[in-house]
């Protein structure tokens, strides 16, 4: 999931005398709170990659499995159920990635 442009809600097209659009609405990048949350920005290293180097595949795999459980468990209690379910999927996919090439 990459960043997708999103039209600003107040954006309007301008038209010429022939009723053809003469300008495009301004697009802003959509936040990606699942794959690249803003609180993880600012470092050239992904935290999960550093964890793999420091703790190894087995421990990071267990971390991913447990984090997936945590996000699924609390998804309906924070008001961010879709985002939390997507995070659970991300951690499950990372777990699978770490364990398919043993």
Residue 85 burial (C-beta neighbours within 10 Å; 0-12, 13-18, 19+): middle
For residues 85 and 74, give the distance between their C-alpha atoms in angstroms, rounded to a whole number: 9
Strands 5-7 and 27-29: antiparallel
For residues 36 and 71, give the distance between their C-alpha atoms in angstroms, rounded to a whole number: 16
Q: pLDDT tens across 2-19, in order?
A: 444 444 444 455 556 666
Q: pLDDT tens across 21-74, in order?
A: 555 555 545 666 666 666 556 778 889 999 999 999 999 999 999 999 999 999
Question: Count H helices, E strands: the chain?
Answer: 3, 2
Q: Smallest Cα–Cα separation from 64: which of 47, 43, 79, 82?
A: 47
């Amino acid at each position: 999931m990459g960043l997708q442009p999103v039209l600003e809600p107040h954006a309007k097209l301008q038209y010429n005398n022939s009723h053809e659009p003469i300008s495009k609405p301004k697009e802003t990048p959509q936040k990606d709170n699942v794959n690249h949350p803003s609180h993880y920005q600012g470092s050239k290293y992904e935290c999960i990659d550093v964890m793999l180097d420091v703790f190894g595949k087995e421990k990071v795999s267990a971390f991913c499995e447990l984090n997936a459980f945590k996000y699924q468990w609390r998804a309906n209690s924070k008001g961010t159920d879709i985002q939390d379910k997507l995070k659970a999927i991300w951690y499950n996919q990372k777990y699978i990635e770490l364990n398919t090439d043993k």
